[in-house]
Structure 1
Amino acid sequence: MPRMSAEERRESVVRAAISEFAQKGYYGTSTEAIARRVGVSQPYLFRLFAGKKAIFVAASLRCVEDVCRVFAGAAEGLEGEEALHAMAGAYVRLITEQPEKLRMQMQTYIAVAAAEAEGDREFGEAVRAAWMRLWDTVHLPLGADDSETTTFLAYGMLVNTLAAMGFPPGHRVWQAMYPSARVTGPLRS
């Protein structure tokens, strides 16, 4: 079996970090657990990343990038209402099939708030910049309409909250969602 390059190893660390941080948050996750999941030593982990915060930032930003990719792919060639429904459906599939993406998003928001409460704005600035790329990714397919973009993302945050709280598919809280954003399959926790 060929050896992984440093870039491939970094990718493995980001994927493992998403899984670990999604489950236990920033403060509850040890770098030892991430290293163990990847199959490397902690010293090697710190050759790839400057520290735990750098790993968390990379995992958080990757999660936003993944959502951007899902939205862009779903909306390709579509606009307006068609794009809206395609993106909503694609997002629900993402968080249903890869629930760690939802949990990582939620952990990211908590970590930004905690960091900013301690006077650390750097992490929040990076996450806000990534989130603005997310905004831009949905903004154009929705007709570059601020109100439509805000409504779409507000529904997305409601979906995040309801799914994170464990409301099962078919529960009445899902009935007012966009038809393509209704949770119809199992949400794994």
Structure 2
Amino acid sequence: MARTLSTAEARREEVLEAAMHVFAERGLHAPTTAVAKAAGISHAYLFRLFPTKNDLAIALMQRTHTQIQATFAAAATQARAAGEDPLDAMGTAYVELIQTDRDLLKVQLQGHAAAVSDPELQAEMRRGFGSLVEYVRTQAGASDEQLDAFFATGMLLNVLGAMDAFELAEPWAQTLCKAPETLDVVD
């Protein structure tokens, strides 16, 4: 039986979707009035759903981490069913995710930047990142060296994605954008 979201839960999801776009475009320090307007709710109701702006930012980062893990899960499942390497599949799926969901990429980068000066957000970023590392370790049976290469490459891909470098013809971009193919350099 499918679970039906309560009005508040459904509204929280709508607000997070609106916040994803607003914060992607304007940063995590964008005014909450812009989020409320984008969600089609009052500013007061926004704060009933998320008591502080930081609560909203943390919930958004949790949602981002969950979306990345779901992407990894689908890729790993398909790879195992096809007799392919789950680690390679997760890397390829991540590239596709950040190329097609620009808001996710931008919010992720905003979260990393804001975490430098926000201990609560930093704690969430650490928890979410750590959860992703352990998930990849478990799903791919990856060694510490493979995990290091996988996540280092992922961070490089974030930077390249932020610069829209995947389609550039310049030699430096062509060299670095081959990064997904190098995920298995440490076997």
Higher relative contact order (CA 8 A, sep 6+): 1
Contact 1:142–1:149 (Cα < 8 Å) also in 2: no
Of the three residues 111, 114, 129, the one matched with 2:114 is 111
SS across alignment from 1:133: helix
The aligned runs of 1:24-173 (5 Å cut-off) are 24-27=26-29, 29-76=30-77, 78=79, 82-115=85-118, 121-171=119-169, 172=171, 173=173
Matched with 1:179 is: 181
Q: 1:16 to 1:180 in 2, by over 3 A?
A: farther
Offset of residue 78 of structure 1:
4.2
Letter of the 1:40 counterpart: I
Q: CA–CA distance in 2 between the matches of 1:77 and 1:92?
A: 16
Q: CA–CA distance in 1 between the matches of 2:93 and 2:146?
A: 18
Offset of residue 95 of structure 1:
1.1
Offset of residue 84 of structure 1:
1.9
Offset of residue 65 of structure 1:
1.1
Runs of 4+ in structure 1 displaced over 2 angstroms? 77-81, 170-176, 178-181
Q: CA–CA distance in 2 between the matches of 1:151 and 1:85?
A: 12
* Percent identity between the two aligned chains: 34
Contact 2:20–2:104 (Cα < 8 Å) also in 1: yes
Contact 1:142–1:148 (Cα < 8 Å) also in 2: no
- RMSD (CA atoms): 2.1
Contact 2:20–2:103 (Cα < 8 Å) also in 1: yes
Task: Deviation per CA, 1:94-130: give whole Å up to 9, x if none.
Answer: 1111111100110000110022xxxxx2221122111
Extract unaligned runs of 5+ from structure 1: 116-120, 182-189
Scaled by the length of structure 2, the TM-score of the pair is 0.84
Q: CA–CA distance in 1 between the matches of 2:115 and 2:84?
A: 32
Q: CA–CA distance in 1 between the matches of 2:68 and 2:132?
A: 8
Contact 1:85–1:180 (Cα < 8 Å) also in 2: no
SS across alignment from 2:41: coil
Q: Count the aligned residue pairs.
A: 172
Letter of the 2:114 counterpart: A
Q: 1:81 to 1:147 in 2, by over 3 A?
A: farther
